[in-house]
Homo-oligomer: A and B are copies of this chain.
């Protein structure tokens, strides 16, 4: 699939077919993720591939409500054949060589690096016929407990993955002129 077609055609999908996702497609999306650049090639991104039904149900319970109601991604987390949990190893991304924090982003540069990897992963998924939805509004420390994630690793994102069982229009996007300017910020 053409890269621009993947970038523009990817949608956030919350309904999936029950068909299982073969190992080779999971490997293709993880491979894409690991090719993302990272802070000084420190490669902090980690991935838990959840296929176990009971674990998915427990993780779905960590999703927070939205507008006082249920999080619309909770059913996706429960029902997708696969759930990719994106994590980050701390103390690597965003530090200079003497381990001092070197930017004004504190120790949060891992969020940028996992974002780079997540975008590769979602584009690759779309290219192999899979759909996903990035879910960020959940109790990450609780999810860490469920998955046995150690203290030096943060859980960043729950990403349900499966063959799409709905079609969605692209939500409106700001135009290029609204988000960019020449030489000075405007």
Interface residue tally for chain A (C-beta within 8 Å): 89
Q: Measured between alpha carbons, how far is A109 from B136 in the docked complex, in Å?
A: 9
Contacting B at CB under 8 A, from A21-53, are 27-28, 30-37, 39, 41, 43, 45-52
Whether A32 contacts B7 by the Cβ 8 Å rule is yes
Whether B48 contacts A185 by the Cβ 8 Å rule is yes
Specify which of B118, B172, B184 is in contact with A115 (CB 8 Å cutoff): B118
Instruction: Check: A124 CB closer than 8 A to any chain B CB.
Output: yes
A residues at B contact (CB < 8 Å):
1-8, 10, 12, 27-28, 30-37, 39, 41, 43, 45-52, 55, 64, 66-67, 87, 94, 96-97, 102-106, 108-109, 111-120, 122-124, 127, 134, 136-138, 140-141, 144, 147-150, 153-154, 156-157, 171-176, 179-186
